[in-house]
Structure 1
Amino acid sequence: MCAFAVGDMKGVPPENDPNKRKDAETRPLNPQLAEIASNGTPGKSWSPVVVAGLARLCEFFLLLMAGVAIAEWHVVPVWGRSLDYYLATAAMAAMAVVALQALGLYATSVLRAPIRHGLKIAAGWSTVFALALAILFFFQLGGSFSRIWLLSWYVVGLAILAVERLTVAMIVRRLTHQGKLDRRTVIVGGGALADPVLRELAAQDDGDLRILGVFDDRTDERSPDMVAGYPKLGTVDDLVAFARHTRIDLVIFTLPISAEARLLQMLRKLWVLPIDIRLAAHTNKLRFRPRSYSYIGDVPVIDVFDKPIADWDVVVKNVFDRVVGALCLLLASPIMALVAIAVKLDSPGPVFFKQRRHGFNNEVIEVYKFRSMFTDQLDPQAVKQVTRHDPRVTRVGRIIRKTSLDELPQLFNVVLEGSLSLVGPRPHAIVCRAADKLYDEVVDGYFARHRVKPGITGWAQINGWRGETDTPEKIQKRVEHDLYYIENWSILFDIYILAMTPFALIKAENAY
């Protein structure tokens, strides 16, 4: 992954007009893009890596259970239970997964067409048994294992793999039909260089890449309206706005490396998006070692940016959020009940308060909080930040804001809605300001913090950057910490931040 300095993207030409940055995020879509965005596009996708991983796990456990079940049926009643059978069953089931992986039988295109690859699947399973028989022969272990057990497991295993692969194929085809396995792709840079890339990508037969069109800032004859049958959809600014309305998974640049200034200028606009960015390399005269490239089909590309927290990381983080969040919600429920009673007794009005904030990929979400202000002075848009001795805040409100108890209802966002994570960049209100300027006008690259799901607590908060952001320096530091968290995320990092959060709340330096 290409590394750029946090905040100012070192090496990228600065764009001095903050309004231009804002327009790229909020500009309306042209009719062509609006039609594509509203044309039944799936909001969420399934990662092919996760689908293949689930298929591996499924096959391992099915083969394992089949071997154990046959041993229980045939071996145990006659010879009793033996640890050797269970160890051999687990080892051979794992070897089967490795063999099928080595034969390339977990690719999405293969999972969609099991009958076409049936002989290779049978060959992989047969190879495992041939290897097992060879080990039994050379180590003279033939008397230790039942031949009926081996033969029965081999036949039943073939049947299980056949049924399982046909079932997986039905699921994968359905996901493909729904567009949830498509890798939605756009090309940046039209003209002669884009033409061979588009033709080569379109010629791939795995069907996972769905090319939407071409974006290019040039408006002269070097960038025609159609390239290899794909339409030019707009400029790079249009692409940023488009990515906020529909799912885009991959951006491929077809610019030569020699066009460094133009390339960096475009990257500076796109790096804030939660997408993979690649630079097509097969048209460049400058050649690197083969290991320097990754490949999309047969097209060599250079990895520029990777979508943060992708594939299995998304699964792990979501499971962690739901399980640990539910536990936290259960443990915090007595405290939440007491806070709710205190809020209700302190001033008239509802107990809870909903505020619209920016979530993942700039989508607007509603975040739950305990009401801490007088009902007639609520500020749903957070036009004015809460300051020390703010008269809008109730007596109970001062306490729960100082201790962050007002944030506890956001556990509902985590556990029930999934719009928040336990750990991540804190979600800011849509019109939050620092020194009378919107955050994105103060901090270059501000929207990059929305490449991941926001959280109840975060790296910035445990480092003291919470509460009022009345100066540009405060919001700058908060965003720097948020971007550091995104680039260095791990589940252990999340656990550390959660563990340190109570100690950070004790200080409560900037929370009013």
Structure 2
Amino acid sequence: MLSVLARIIDVAAIAVGALVAAALHRGHLAPLGDVESVALAFNCLLAIWMFPAFGIYQSWRGKSLYDLFARVSAAWLAVEATGILLSFSVHRADSLSRVWLVLWAVATVAFLIVSKALVYMVLKGLRREGYNQRDVAVAGGHRYGRFLIEQMKSRPDAGFRPALLFDEDSDADGEADVDGVPVERNLQAMLQQVRERGIRELWLALPISKERTIHRIVTELRHDFVNIRFIPDVRALSLFNQPVVDLLGVPAINLAASPITDLRVLPKRAFDCLFAACVLAALAPLFAVIAIAVKCDSRGPVMFRQRRKGLDGNEFEIYKFRSMKAHAETQGQVTQARRNDPRVTRVGAFLRRTSLDELPQFINVLKGEMSVVGPRPHALEHDDIYKNLVRGYMHRYRIKPGITGWAQVNGFRGETDRVEKMRDRVRFDLHYMQNWSFTLDLKIVAMTMWKGFAGQNAY
């Protein structure tokens, strides 16, 4: 019933989109012409046929609304493109206005997204009030089972309600229920309850070592219309909440891989190039003034260069304005700048305090070695020290390092004289990677500009 209603709403959105496009094209409200009416009817039929292939009418309980928006947009564009190609085959394409087709595409995408969002919000509201809930039986260990039950109870709008927990490893004298959810320890009794209570969702939160139990449950319920989902506990293995990906037709979970895919990184790379080019062009006079000041203040080169790790551990040479007197470090050792460090020049102290010494790194951004926003790269010698002391330290290099980052705008910048400081910085970097979005990048840039580049920990 809901699937039929969803199709009716989609057809209505397509029709309204066509009428709005015609009104915008002609400058006033008017009925569609004969050719446009035929195109509308034909594309409505195509939508009814093609939309299911994009997974639009599947259950979206607990899933991302943005994924639904992307699917419905792609589905409609595919329908319209197919309609245009077919109109060429019957020599009717010349009768259709190209402007109207473009307006129709944009208007329909907007109406489809708005309609999906409204339906999604209404269903969430109903589920939050206890309606349209789906009972779920969980088969798993006590700790992970309790976790899934807590997740369902904290998100009632997702539409899942815990009804039963099966834990065959618990003692007979163990708890009779978990947070109000009855616990069953006998497999046959659990299967009987699933059938008698009409439970249509069974989540197998069992370790891989329970292969026999998993196989037995799936076999026992092979003739029952129960959705059986395998939800392995990989929290101890993965640093990131990675989705299941398709690898050569086989489902795989990324335990250690970049959380930013090639497709998602395109707007980030475009922003990096545009922003870096604008900064370098606008601040060229300031670059010249700083270069002269550095040269006059102490002997040595204007630029300081140092090898750092970038994306996937590939090394590159980072650029900074020199802020210290020319000196030689002990092989394999890098001494961080400290408060009142005698090596820091007068001009260098000002540059470091205001972070103006970091400006040449926009050249690294243009070269594709760094990003405007990302985890800060550290000296190679520091990498060798902290990689074994701080969990997840090297995972920071799964994405491009940045000039500013989530850790920096939250006050974690400057000297890391204690392991605890580095742990805090890495914790913020991993949070950024786990929750990355282009919007978050823009937020960090705005926070950096609002708070300024100066900081009490920079010296």
TM-score, structure 1 as length reference: 0.45
User: Counterpart in 1 of 2:302?
Assistant: 351
Instruction: Tell me the CA shift for residue 449 of structure 1.
Output: 1.1
The question of whether the paired residues in 2 share the 8 Å contact of 1:356 and 1:381 is answered with no
421, 430, 433: which one aligns with 1:483: 430
Matches within 5 A, 1:27-426: 128=83, 147=92, 149-150=94-95, 257-259=207-209, 285=215, 289=228, 296=247, 299-301=250-252, 307-377=258-328, 383-415=334-366, 417-426=367-376
Larger RCO (alpha carbons 8 Å, 6+ apart): 1
Instruction: Tell me the CA shift for residue 337 of structure 1.
Output: 1.4
Instruction: Tell me the CA shift for residue 314 of structure 1.
Output: 1.3
User: Counterpart in 2 of 1:457?
Assistant: 404
User: Between the two proteins, what is the percent identity of the paired residues?
Assistant: 43
Compared CA separation, residues 372 and 97, structure 1 to 2 (3 A)? farther
Compared CA separation, residues 149 and 325, structure 1 to 2 (3 A)? same
Compared CA separation, residues 406 and 381, structure 1 to 2 (3 A)? farther
- What is the total number of aligned residue pairs between the two structures? 276
The question of whether the paired residues in 2 share the 8 Å contact of 1:460 and 1:478 is answered with yes
Compared CA separation, residues 454 and 152, structure 1 to 2 (3 A)? closer
User: Counterpart in 2 of 1:143?
Assistant: none
Give ranges in structure 1 of 5+ residues lacking alignment: 1-82, 105-122, 134-145, 154-255, 261-280
Q: What is the SS of the residue equivalent to 1:369?
A: strand
Partner amino acid for 1:442?
Answer: L
Instruction: Tell me the CA shift for residue 344 of structure 1.
Output: 0.8
Compared CA separation, residues 501 and 395, structure 1 to 2 (3 A)? same
CA distance in 1, matches of 2:247, 2:327: 57
Partner amino acid for 2:322?
Answer: R
User: Counterpart in 2 of 1:223?
Assistant: none
The question of whether the paired residues in 1 share the 8 Å contact of 2:353 and 2:454 is answered with no
CA distance in 1, matches of 2:358, 2:96: 60
Partner amino acid for 1:128?
Answer: G
CA distance in 2, matches of 1:455, 1:333: 21
Instruction: Tell me the CA shift for residue 297 of structure 1.
Output: 5.5
Corresponding position: 1:499 with 2:446: yes
Corresponding position: 1:429 with 2:379: yes
Instruction: Tell me the CA shift for residue 464 of structure 1.
Output: 0.9
Instruction: Tell me the CA shift for residue 257 of structure 1.
Output: 3.4
Instruction: Tell me the CA shift for residue 124 of structure 1.
Output: 8.1
Instruction: Tell me the CA shift for residue 457 of structure 1.
Output: 0.5
CA distance in 1, matches of 2:273, 2:253: 36
The question of whether the paired residues in 1 share the 8 Å contact of 2:313 and 2:397 is answered with yes
The question of whether the paired residues in 2 share the 8 Å contact of 1:360 and 1:454 is answered with yes
Partner amino acid for 1:308?
Answer: P
Decide which structure has the larger Cα Rg and report it. 2
User: Counterpart in 1 of 2:178?
Assistant: none
Q: What is the SS of the residue equivalent to 1:312?
A: coil
Q: What is the SS of the residue equivalent to 1:465?
A: coil
Instruction: Tell me the CA shift for residue 327 of structure 1.
Output: 1.2
The question of whether the paired residues in 2 share the 8 Å contact of 1:423 and 1:498 is answered with yes
Compared CA separation, residues 95 and 259, structure 1 to 2 (3 A)? same
Instruction: Tell me the CA shift for residue 332 of structure 1.
Output: 2.0
The question of whether the paired residues in 2 share the 8 Å contact of 1:373 and 1:394 is answered with yes
User: Counterpart in 1 of 2:122?
Assistant: none
Q: What is the SS of the residue equivalent to 1:315?
A: helix
CA distance in 1, matches of 2:436, 2:425: 16
Deviation sequence 1:92-120 (CA, Å, 0-9, x none): 9x99998999889xxxxxxxxxxxxxxxx
372, 386, 390: which one aligns with 1:443: 390
Compared CA separation, residues 304 and 430, structure 1 to 2 (3 A)? closer
TM-score, structure 2 as length reference: 0.50
Compared CA separation, residues 322 and 289, structure 1 to 2 (3 A)? farther
Instruction: Tell me the CA shift for residue 502 of structure 1.
Output: 3.4
Deviation sequence 1:269-295 (CA, Å, 0-9, x none): xxxxxxxxxxxx999637673696765
Q: What is the SS of the residue equivalent to 1:468?
A: coil
CA distance in 2, matches of 1:131, 1:353: 62
CA distance in 2, matches of 1:97, 1:398: 67
Instruction: Output the aligned Cα RMSD.
Output: 4.6
Instruction: Tell me the CA shift for residue 152 of structure 1.
Output: 12
CA distance in 2, matches of 1:125, 1:496: 36
Instruction: Tell me the CA shift for residue 396 of structure 1.
Output: 0.6
The question of whether the paired residues in 2 share the 8 Å contact of 1:367 and 1:413 is answered with yes
Compared CA separation, residues 505 and 469, structure 1 to 2 (3 A)? farther
CA distance in 1, matches of 2:288, 2:46: 50
Deviation sequence 1:392-422 (CA, Å, 0-9, x none): 111111110111111000000001x100000
With 295-304 and 318-327 compared, the bigger mean Cα shift is at 295-304
User: Counterpart in 2 of 1:21?
Assistant: none
Compared CA separation, residues 371 and 311, structure 1 to 2 (3 A)? same
CA distance in 1, matches of 2:257, 2:358: 32
Instruction: Tell me the CA shift for residue 363 of structure 1.
Output: 1.8
